[in-house]
Chains A and B, each alone.
Chain A
Amino acid sequence: MAKVLMKGNEAIAEAAIRSGCRHYFGYPITPQTEIAEYMAKRMPKIGGLCLQAESEIAAINMVLGASSAGVRVMTSSSSPGISLKSEGISYMVGSDLPCLILNVQRGGPGLGGIQPAQSDYYQATKANGHGDLHLIVLAPNSIQEAADCTSLAFDLGDKYRVPVMILADGALGQMMEPVEFSGNEKTELPEKPWATTGTGMKRKKNIINSLYMQPDELESSINERFKRYDVIEKNEVRYESYLAEDADIILVCYGITSRICKTAVGMARKEGIKAGIIRPITLWPYPKEALAKAAETASEFLVVELNKGQMTSDVKLAIECSRPVSFYGRTGGVMPTPEEILEQIRMIGGRIK
């Protein structure tokens, strides 16, 4: 297929369909409503289902049901709506069910605003739902990568039987860029022998459940899941390194913010300041080793986010506080300019000379 011009929200919806997703359950909220809009237009034409639920809580529980039946399924929302879905997400983790959850972040806390933010970093990577759990969290920085991550999200979810979140933001959801959908639509999806599709009197019944009556049974199910998490941490880390090899100052940023940082790093390089970027594409599993390795040669780290510095702690842990880590960010839907970030790079550059 040739290149087309799409909004991030539309591209993710189209990529989901091409990944074999035929079930979408959601509830409208700016700035991601185009997902539901697109699904509502496309799904009936291809034998799929797009259903606007009565609430976010209903939508995530419909996702749980559909995933139990073995189909590829997704939901999408924006920050406050994702909070409502947290309970269902935890139930899905506890039931080892894959799905795609898209969070097109807006400013918070509370209703906040409708402009872009990255203030759900902690929620996505540390505590989306109660209990001992992780989601695989992908953070694309372009419309093309958003489409590619969508396809990856379904594959990873099925492979490890975990919910996968795409952590986008209002800017990525709303802006338009050329995008190309590679390859043919997926028609052969992985077998799901665990799904509740009817025994046909040929096998033992499958049970999808997150409630355990015996403590030791619950513990062993959690331990088994954490063994899978170990494999994910070993095999599924993804990041992009940009001019980081000889850099004195490493910017750590993800999503739309990394696009601004790239411009700022280019400006800094022109002034002779050796700045570079390590951009996590997976926020969990986190690219700890890449950062630790960079700390061997770089002098300082600068985290840039659309929040008050949530990822700073992960960078500090990854490099075991071996180098200073500073932070620059804007909130409330305000985007930093490349000049603002350049100013931060200059300040660090002045002090490490």
Chain B
Amino acid sequence: MISDKIGGLNKIIIVCGHYGSGKTNIAVNLAYAIRKSGKKTVLADLDIVNPYFRAADNREFLEEAGVRCLIPMYANSNVDIPCLPPEIYSVFSGDEYAILDVGGDKEGATALGIYREEILRCGYSMLGVCNMYRPLTSIPEDAIDNLAQIEAHCSIPFTHIVNNSNLADLTTEKTVYDSFEYAETICKKSGLPLLFTSVCDDVPLMSEEGIFRIKNITKRLY
């Protein structure tokens, strides 16, 4: 069961990956699912890379569900300075499940590295989000290379792979199934287990095995 797999994650859950791989979408949906399973949950936005699409867009949705949100005060404003609020440290001392939404690529991982000691002390799960339909990570070797760069910049090893292969509105059962071999290869070559394949709830599938259903929470700009 996917819910058991998610329930088995450590209390600090870090969502990392390539720019545009769907990290924020996964982080928001994970925070929502974990909160719905009855656990106290906090989502911290550590994205210092992307000023346009951020967890802050979903603050209302998350807070309504009872998820505490730690969002830089300047998120979605015109002040694109890379600074993070000191309250982030609260996630390492409380009894909440904490989902850390990290910025893309190695640049985003640099910000994560600040919290390395606390993360290792608390125990963590770090998910590498991969999307086969993103051209710079479309083959397993490139995806693994990207994850390796992230690890090198934050000095925190990954623990799981998340297969978020999607083509936005054009995602179909076929595009999902076509990505299974890609995800398997990444897992085999990296030695990491696959946590789940995430699929939007409006895409019908023959089997739900290994699938984590997500809502597409990406802000529409038009």
Complex Cα–Cα for A5 and B175 (A): 12
Question: On chain B, which size bracket covers the interface?
Answer: 20 to 34
Complex Cα–Cα for A34 and B169 (A): 22
Could you say which of B134, B170, B221 contacts A256, with CB atoms under 8 Å apart? B221
Interface flags, B81-93, vs A, CB<8A=1, else 0: 0000000000000
Report A109-139 residues with CB < 8 Å from chain B CB. 112-116
Cβ of A56 within 8 Å of any chain B Cβ, yes or no, is: no
Could you say which of A6, A30, A171, A178 contacts B222, with CB atoms under 8 Å apart? A171
> In the assembled complex, how far is the CB of residue A15 from the closest CB belonging to chain B, in whole angstroms?
12
Q: A4-B133, A178-B167 are in contact. Are A333 and B78 (CB under 8 A)?
A: yes
Residues of A contacting B133 in the complex (Cβ-Cβ under 8 angstroms): 3-5, 178
Residue count of chain A within 8 Å CB distance of chain B: 31
Residues of B contacting A70 in the complex (Cβ-Cβ under 8 angstroms): none
* A114/B222 in contact, CB under 8 A: no
Residues of B contacting A174 in the complex (Cβ-Cβ under 8 angstroms): 50, 52-53, 221
> In the assembled complex, how far is the CB of residue B162 from the closest CB belonging to chain A, in whole angstroms?
16
Could you say which of B19, B52, B135, B169 contacts A31, with CB atoms under 8 Å apart? B52
> In the assembled complex, how far is the CB of residue A43 from the closest CB belonging to chain B, in whole angstroms?
13
Cβ of A313 within 8 Å of any chain B Cβ, yes or no, is: no
Residues of A contacting B218 in the complex (Cβ-Cβ under 8 angstroms): 176
Residues of B contacting A259 in the complex (Cβ-Cβ under 8 angstroms): 222
Cβ of A233 within 8 Å of any chain B Cβ, yes or no, is: no
Residues of B contacting A14 in the complex (Cβ-Cβ under 8 angstroms): 135
Report B166-196 residues with CB < 8 Å from chain A CB. 166-170
Could you say which of B20, B51, B78, B80 contacts A176, with CB atoms under 8 Å apart? B20
Complex Cα–Cα for A62 and B137 (A): 31
Report A1-57 residues with CB < 8 Å from chain B CB. 3-7, 10, 14, 30-31, 34, 38, 41
Which A residue's beta carbon lies closest to that of B53?
A174
Choose among B52, B136, B167 the residue with the greatest number of A CB atoms under 10 Å from its CB: B52
* B134/A177 in contact, CB under 8 A: no
Report A170-194 residues with CB < 8 Å from chain B CB. 170-171, 174-178
Q: A5-B134, A113-B78, A176-B168 are in contact. Are A260 and B222 (CB under 8 A)?
A: yes
Could you say which of B50, B51, B135, B166 contacts A6, with CB atoms under 8 Å apart? B135
Residues of A contacting B221 in the complex (Cβ-Cβ under 8 angstroms): 116, 171, 174-175, 256, 335
> In the assembled complex, how far is the CB of residue A34 from the closest CB belonging to chain B, in whole angstroms?
8
Residues of B contacting A4 in the complex (Cβ-Cβ under 8 angstroms): 133-135, 138, 167
Cβ of A210 within 8 Å of any chain B Cβ, yes or no, is: no
Cβ of B131 within 8 Å of any chain A Cβ, yes or no, is: yes
Complex Cα–Cα for A335 and B219 (A): 12
Interface flags, B123-141, vs A, CB<8A=1, else 0: 0000000010111101000
A-B CB contacts (within 8 Å), total count: 66
> In the assembled complex, how far is the CB of residue A38 from the closest CB belonging to chain B, in whole angstroms?
8
* B168/A178 in contact, CB under 8 A: yes
Interface flags, B148-172, vs A, CB<8A=1, else 0: 0000000000000000001111100
* A5/B78 in contact, CB under 8 A: no
Residues of B contacting A178 in the complex (Cβ-Cβ under 8 angstroms): 133, 167-170
Complex Cα–Cα for A177 and B170 (A): 9
> In the assembled complex, how far is the CB of residue A256 from the closest CB belonging to chain B, in whole angstroms?
6
Complex Cα–Cα for A178 and B175 (A): 12
Which A residue's beta carbon lies closest to that of B78?
A113
> In the assembled complex, how far is the CB of residue A271 from the closest CB belonging to chain B, in whole angstroms?
21
Complex Cα–Cα for A5 and B166 (A): 8
Complex Cα–Cα for A256 and B222 (A): 7
Residues of B contacting A297 in the complex (Cβ-Cβ under 8 angstroms): none
Interface flags, A321-347, vs B, CB<8A=1, else 0: 000000000000101000000000000
Choose among A5, A14, A335 the residue with the greatest number of B CB atoms under 10 Å from its CB: A5
* B51/A5 in contact, CB under 8 A: no
Cβ of A263 within 8 Å of any chain B Cβ, yes or no, is: yes
Residues of B contacting A170 in the complex (Cβ-Cβ under 8 angstroms): 52
Which A residue's beta carbon lies closest to that of B218?
A176
Complex Cα–Cα for A38 and B19 (A): 11
Report B44-66 residues with CB < 8 Å from chain A CB. 50-53
Could you say which of A7, A10, A114 contacts B80, with CB atoms under 8 Å apart? A114
Q: A177-B168, A256-B221, A260-B222 are in contact. Are A6 and B134 (CB under 8 A)?
A: yes
Which B residue's beta carbon lies closest to that of A262?
B222
Complex Cα–Cα for A134 and B167 (A): 38
Interface residues of B (CB under 8 A from A): 19-20, 50-53, 78, 80, 131, 133-136, 138, 166-170, 218, 221-222
What are 9 A-B pairs at a CB distance below 8 A?
A4-B134, A5-B20, A5-B134, A5-B166, A10-B135, A174-B50, A176-B168, A176-B218, A256-B222
A-B pairs with lowest CB-CB distance, top 9 = A113-B78, A259-B222, A174-B52, A171-B221, A5-B133, A178-B170, A178-B167, A260-B222, A4-B135
A-B contacts besides A4-B138, A107-B78, A113-B78, 9 pairs, CB < 8 Å: A3-B170, A5-B131, A30-B80, A115-B52, A174-B50, A174-B52, A175-B53, A175-B221, A335-B222
